[in-house]
Structure 1
Amino acid sequence: MEPLGIYSKKYKKIKDIPNGATIAIANNPSQAARGLILLQKAGLITLKNNFGYLGTISDIKNNPKHLKFKEIDDTTGPRVINSVDAVLISNTVALEGHLHVLTDSIFHEKVDQSTKDNINILATAAKNKNNSVYKKLVKLYHKKNIQSYIKNKYYGTKIEVKKSLSYFDN
């Protein structure tokens, strides 16, 4: 999993974000919805019960801090961090902007049921489930030295998730 984070140069903690703050959020539907879910998890907003994968700011049920939202190209997060109160930035974009989600964000996604849809999965067609090459790839991916390489290469921001397929059932 590559966690999405909330970053701020103005505030050290999520609770410090003031009334009327401006939050930069991705202008693409999937990242925007993911960001809104994270803002809800952080306690800043409440989303409508039927909020879905393509939810938007119009699906905010309760905005007690009267936050303002500025839609941005999700690849520009590190460049706008100084011009807004907080910005939602995906892990890869954060790394490219020299930000570390686990140490620089003021709040970020954790591996739990609410983020299971954001976990990257090695998958194939059912007809290939016994393919020895694919099985070898999965085994290699989870080897200690490969996980160590990934951890070092990406500074610990790509989190290994070992869950059974039943974990991903809805």
Structure 2
Amino acid sequence: MKKSYLWLLGIVLVIVLGALGLHQVNSQQTKSATITVGSMGSDYAIWQHIAKSAEAKKLGLKIKVKQVTDGVQLNKATAEGSIDVNAFQSWTYYVAFNKQSKSSKLAALGTTYMEPMGIYSKKYQKVKDIPDGATIAVADNPSQQARGLVLLQKAGLIKLKKNFDVALGSINDIASNPKKLKFKQIDDTTGPRVLHTVDAVLISNTVALEGHLHVLSDSIYHEAVDQSTKANINILATAKKNKNNENYKKLVTLYHEKSIQKYIKDKYYGTKVNVAKPLSYIEK
């Protein structure tokens, strides 16, 4: 009986020690695991800088940055897990994706910045100069088109329906168009290239920067950064199942580090306005 008892105790000890060892290995792997951040355009350049920064090392984060040129595909890759976190989209773009995606859902980790969308024109210096029957180029993707239409309304060019969806609203939701403007739907990344072919173009700041345009000086009208545009704040997003991942949340803290913000401000001329707010600020 005594030998059997000792033998059984020995087996239990082996199992317990093995489990503890496995837990330690898993913990080490979790700490040292590389986080793949998917991004595009100027955000890709920012995250390349962040990945190499001393601040990332201080937080114990190993970051690999992957460039993806299509926002929908980047969101799908994130929701499916081949990308851990993505850094490129506004809150409205994120909401639109989740509304349209039946199975693959995303979760927001935190806010990053807000950059104004602008109305650009090579023909006219002021919004009031845009004539009747002018052609305005707007994005063909839902969130950017909706955002652009809200901007046109603020500029006094159109009026939208009262129940306009700021994430998925379209040109079909225009209630009043006194100037009888015509709308040309374009790939939102081509805005600077079509600037010479239409009367005015709505261009997001990331795309404008790539086209060597500065929203604060080159646009004829642009968004204000205030409560009315909070839905256009950019976020970091991950797959819904990873929304409580502590290392992923550290990326939000990392983005707002003073030295990182100085780099962004200097490189992008203050057009990416830092927004260090809780998600509840946008969700209200």
**Shared fold by TM > 0.5?**
yes
Report the residue type matching 2:156 in the other structure.
Answer: G
- CA–CA distance in structure 1, aligned partners of residues 182 and 173 of structure 2: 14
Gaps of 5+ in 2: 1-113
For the pair 1:44 / 2:157, whether they are aligned, the reply is yes
Task: Provide TM-score, normalisation by structure 2.
Answer: 0.55
Runs of 4+ in 1 over 6 A off after TM superposition: none
Secondary structure of 1:61's match? strand
Matching residue within 145, 152, 157 for 2:271: 157
Report the residue type matching 1:58 in the other structure.
Answer: N
For the pair 1:79 / 2:196, whether they are aligned, the reply is no
Gaps of 5+ in 1: none
Secondary structure of 1:51's match? coil
Q: Deviations over 1:113-154 (max 9, x none)?
A: 3321211124665533xx3x4565444322322111001222
Aligned residue runs from structure 1 range 124-143, under 5 A: 125=242, 127-128=244-245, 131=246, 133=247, 136-143=250-257
- CA–CA distance in structure 2, aligned partners of residues 8 and 94 of structure 1: 12
Report the residue type matching 1:47 in the other structure.
Answer: L
**Pairwise CA RMSD:** 1.8
- CA–CA distance in structure 2, aligned partners of residues 71 and 140 of structure 1: 37
Report the residue type matching 1:3 in the other structure.
Answer: P
Residue number in structure 2 paired with 1:7: 120
- CA–CA distance in structure 1, aligned partners of residues 249 and 170 of structure 2: 39
Task: Provide TM-score, normalisation by structure 1.
Answer: 0.88
Q: Deviations over 1:25-52 (max 9, x none)?
A: 1111111111101101111100001111
Report the residue type matching 1:79 in the other structure.
Answer: R
Secondary structure of 1:140's match? helix
Percent identical residues: 75
- CA–CA distance in structure 2, aligned partners of residues 41 and 100 of structure 1: 20
Q: Deviations over 1:54-93 (max 9, x none)?
A: 1111110011111111111111111111111100011111
Q: Cα offset for 1:106?
A: 0.9
Q: Which has the larger radius of gyration?
A: 2
For the pair 1:69 / 2:183, whether they are aligned, the reply is yes
Secondary structure of 2:208's match? helix
Which structure exhibits the higher relative contact order, with contacts defined as CA atoms closer than 8 Å and separated by 6 or more residues? 1
Secondary structure of 1:66's match? coil
Q: Cα offset for 1:158?
A: 0.9
Residue number in structure 1 paired with 2:172: 58
Secondary structure of 1:148's match? helix
- CA–CA distance in structure 2, aligned partners of residues 31 and 80 of structure 1: 16
| Equivalent residue pairs, number | 167
Say which structure is richer in strand: 2
